[in-house]
């Protein structure tokens, strides 16, 4: 199981880091909504190795059998490795490639708020977002958030893959 997790997890880690990093780096001209869709797409593409890892373990390592629990464990471990890759890409982007990302995101989001809100509500929303970005806008926090986001999506993909691929 360890070899399968390391093999397919490494594939996902590399793919996740590369695709997510490329999307962040070359997606500057795109809206944050479009970047978010591309980001989630890259996470799901990287997490496809969960399915293939479980299938490989079942068919090539374990004689055509895998329990739901074992499949789930393999999937979550592969997902954790993918999450590390995406987290590293996010951290490098926000510290090396674009260290002003938090400020740029805050400025663009505040600008969009002006079209949605007015008066006191606008000021309240601006203050909330500014405080939130000051509290949680650090590169380490954002990288950890990406890791856990990938882990949650990976858990769901692991559940589905485990249900599909289980054989007792």
Q: What is the pTM of this model?
A: 0.84
At 7, list the tokens. Answer: 């093999």
Taking Cα atoms as reference points, which of 86, 79, 57 lies closest to residue 153? 79
State how far Cα 50 lies from the chain centre.
Answer: 14
Question: For 110-125, what is each residue's pLDDT tens digit?
Answer: 787 787 777 888 888 7
* pLDDT attached to residue 63: 92
Residue 72 pLDDT level (bands cut at 50, 70, 90): very high
Question: For 6-50, what is each residue's pLDDT tens digit?
Answer: 999 999 999 988 887 788 777 777 777 888 888 888 889 999 999
Output 3-6 pairs: Cβ under 8 A, ≥24 positions apart: 3/61, 4/53, 4/56, 4/57, 4/61, 4/74, 5/53, 5/74, 5/77, 5/78, 5/81, 6/81
The owner of tokens 């944050």 is 32
- What are the residues facing 167 on neighbouring strands? 66
Taking Cα atoms as reference points, which of 43, 47, 29 lies closest to residue 108? 29
* pLDDT attached to residue 65: 94
Give the count of beta carbons closer than 10 Å to the beta carbon of residue 18.
14
Q: Considering the chain, what percentage of its residues have pLDDT values greater than 70?
A: 99
* pLDDT attached to residue 26: 79
Output 90-95 pairs: Cβ under 8 A, ≥24 positions apart: 90/20, 90/24, 90/139, 90/142, 90/143, 90/146, 91/139, 91/140, 91/142, 91/143, 92/21, 93/21, 93/24, 93/25, 94/139, 94/142, 94/143, 95/139
C-alpha dihedral (134, 139, 144, 149), degrees to nearest 10: 80
Taking Cα atoms as reference points, which of 105, 96, 93 lies closest to residue 136? 105
């Amino acid at each position: 199981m360890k070899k399968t997790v390391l093999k397919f997890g490494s594939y996902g880690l590399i793919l996740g880091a590369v695709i997510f990093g490329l999307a962040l780096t070359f997606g500057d001209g795109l809206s944050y909504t479009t970047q978010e869709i591309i980001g989630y797409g890259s996470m799901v593409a990287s997490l496809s190795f969960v399915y293939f890892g479980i299938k490989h373990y079942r068919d090539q390592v374990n004689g055509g059998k895998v329990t739901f629990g074992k499949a789930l464990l393999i999937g979550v471990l592969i997902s954790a490795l993918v999450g590390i890759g995406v987290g590293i890409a996010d951290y490098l982007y926000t510290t090396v490639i674009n260290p002003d990302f938090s400020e740029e995101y805050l400025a663009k989001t505040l600008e969009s708020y002006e079209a949605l809100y007015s008066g006191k509500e606008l000021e309240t929303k601006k203050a909330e977002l500014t405080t939130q970005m000051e509290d949680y806008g650090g590169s380490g926090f954002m990288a950890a958030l990406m890791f856990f986001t990938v882990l949650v999506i990976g858990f769901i993909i692991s559940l589905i893959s485990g249900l599909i691929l289980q054989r007792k």
